[in-house]
Every structure is written in structure tokens, then in C-alpha cells.
Structure 1
Amino acid sequence: MNNVILNHDEITHKIRRIAFQIYENNVNEKEVVLAGIDSNGYIFAKKLKTVLQKISDINPVLCKVSIDKKNPHSPIKTSIPVEDYENKSLVLVDDVLNSGTTLIYGVKHFLDVPLKQFKTAVLVNRNHKKYPVKADFKGISLSTSLHEHVTVVLEGKNFEVSLE
């Protein structure tokens, strides 16, 4: 049984709102790095980039962050070199903040780099944290049970967040 939590229009609205929050936090920046965790986090980051380009004169730079979710200790790869995000404002983006494992390993990777500002953005915050990591920008907070699964679809004509 699927319970739709956010429909296409609601997700589009939340993407726009988060993009405005990122802009407000970076109003004096020329560039902001949107580091999206592969795969849905990166798709979400691409959508944020599109809106940021429409609403501001900030240049959003996309960075794909590849984390082996089954073995998060293995080296994390980024699609752009470290020099491209050093001393910049960076937002680590993922679709769902569940236990915080993926996000905390992503945070750990970027802690080795001097950054001007470091924030996190998620579409869905599930409030089941195992690690002390928070989402600075979030679309929705859900109190779900551990056996429920949140599915996020951000491609195609109909975006959807559902609970199974």
C-alpha cells in the first residue's frame, strides 16, 4: 500500500522554497556548490540548481557525490576536483535523511576541505537519526516507524514521495 505524502506540485513548491532558503543563506556569494548524493540526492540538487538560476544571480555548481551506501567507509568520490569547492559555500543534498549514515559520511568527506559555509538539504527528514546530523533545509519532516519505507521519485512527469 502506497500513501502519497507529497505530490508533484507539493514537491515542486518545496524545491522552490529550499532554493530560496539557499539563496538567502548565500546572498553575498557568487557561487554555491550543490553536492548531491548519488542518485536521488543528485537529481534533487539538479532541480535546486535550475530554480536557483531563475531566482538569483548566484552560479550554482553541481557536484555528484558517490558514496557506497553498503560500505560507507570506502572512499567517497566527487564529480568535480577538491579545488572547485575549496573555500566556497557548499550544500550537501540528499533526498531522504533516514538514519543519517549517508549524510554523516558525506559531511565527513567535506570536513577535510576548507569551506566558507557548509549546509545540508533534504527533501524528507525522517527523524530516525543514528548520528548527530541535521538538515539545515528540509522539505518535510516525517515521524515514521522504522519498518516503513519512504520512496522518492524525482524523474518523469510526476514527482512523488510515498510511504510504504
Structure 2
Amino acid sequence: MRKDATLIVDSQTIKHSTRRIAYQIYEANFNYKTLYVVGIAKSGVLYAKSIIAVLEEISDLKIHFIQLEINKKNPHLPIKTTEDLHQLKDQSVVLIDDVLNTGSTLIYAVKHLLEVPLKQLKTAVLVNRNHKNYPIKADFKGISLSTSINEHIEVNLNSEIEGVYLN
């Protein structure tokens, strides 16, 4: 993170947003016994684990975690997951990332997950920006920010300097 970065969302707001998103995910999956949470590496994985911690506290859902690795600069390159996608067949899945910016990472990740038939697929992000190049949206979002295309949003989920920063 750059030294001149400005804190725009503090740790407490992140925790509040995470809890709210977890409740929304639980409500959307109330009729299911099992939920697959897919976190996009790297910050999306950390954020997914935060949401899972709240879900385990508030629900009796059996939660399975899968990490998805995608080249964010070239999302059309092969995508890797820590588990075989076939276990997602006919399951409810939530795909989680830290920031939805142009939508390329999220849409390519969705495309990859749809290689198997799913019961439902929802998306969740901590920060939703309005610079999308693809027809994708976040079903659950912590905050929406209107920023210029030249501004950079950085999410830091490290407990010492947790926050969303504007560069």
C-alpha cells in the first residue's frame, strides 16, 4: 500500500459489512443444508474466510471452502481451484472477492464455475465500484463507491492496518 493512501473504510465498518453480508447469504440459502463458498485469491480468500466465520456463528449450514486462483490481468488464462469443481454439482455456491471493479475477474470466475450445473450461484464483494466492462453484478456488497477510473482501491484485511484505501 502506498504511503499517501487515504483510509475510506475503517476496520469497524468492514466488520459490520461482513456481518450484514453473512446474514444476507444465510437468508438466500436458508432452505439448503450445504453451502460452497469460493474465494478469489488473494484478498477475496481472506474476505471469504471472514464471512465464513460469521456464517458458522449464525447458521447451521455445512460450509465448504474452495480457493479460486485467477490471473487478474489475464483472466482468460487457465483458472485453478483447490478442489474439484464436480463436487459443486447441484449445489448452492457463493463466489466472493474483495473488489468488483471492471467485472472481468468476477465474470471469468463465474464462467469457470458454470462448467458444472449449479443449484444457484451468488456473488459477494466488499467494495463495489461503478466501472464495469462486463454485465455482472454483486448480489451482496459491503459498500458501493463512485470513484474515477484513475483512482485505485486497495483492500487490506491485515488486522494491523485493516481498511479500504483510496490511492
The interval holding the TM-score normalised by the smaller chain is over 0.9
CA distance in 2, matches of 1:157, 1:25: 32
| Number of residue-to-residue matches in the alignment | 164
1:108 to 111, 121, 127: 111
**Structure 1 unaligned blocks of 5 or more:** none
Structure 1 position 83, deviation (Å): 2.6
Structure 1 position 4, deviation (Å): 1.4
2:131 to 106, 128, 131: 128
User: In the alignment, does 2:78 pair up with 1:72?
Assistant: no
CA distance in 1, matches of 2:19, 2:87: 25
Aligned to 2:24: 21
User: In the alignment, does 2:54 pair up with 1:51?
Assistant: yes
CA distance in 1, matches of 2:77, 2:127: 25
Q: Give % identity.
A: 53
CA distance in 2, matches of 1:58, 1:157: 31
Per-residue deviation, residues 44-86 of structure 1 (Å, max 9, x unmatched): 1111111000000012211100101222111111111123221
CA distance in 1, matches of 2:85, 2:5: 41
What's the Cα RMSD here?
Answer: 1.0
In terms of mean alpha carbon deviation, does 95-104 or 65-74 score higher? 65-74
Structure 1 position 156, deviation (Å): 2.5
Question: What is the DSSP-based 3-state SS (H/G/I as helix, E as strand, rest coil) of the residue aligned with 1:61?
Answer: strand
* AA of the residue aligned to 1:61: H
Structure 1 position 162, deviation (Å): 1.0
CA distance in 1, matches of 2:73, 2:132: 17
CA distance in 1, matches of 2:120, 2:32: 10
* AA of the residue aligned to 1:92: L
TM-score (norm 2): 0.95
CA distance in 1, matches of 2:155, 2:121: 24
**Structure 2 unaligned blocks of 5 or more:** none
Question: What is the DSSP-based 3-state SS (H/G/I as helix, E as strand, rest coil) of the residue aligned with 1:42?
Answer: helix
CA distance in 1, matches of 2:73, 2:160: 30
Structure 1 position 121, deviation (Å): 0.3
TM-score (norm 1): 0.96
Question: What is the DSSP-based 3-state SS (H/G/I as helix, E as strand, rest coil) of the residue aligned with 1:22?
Answer: helix
CA distance in 1, matches of 2:14, 2:64: 22
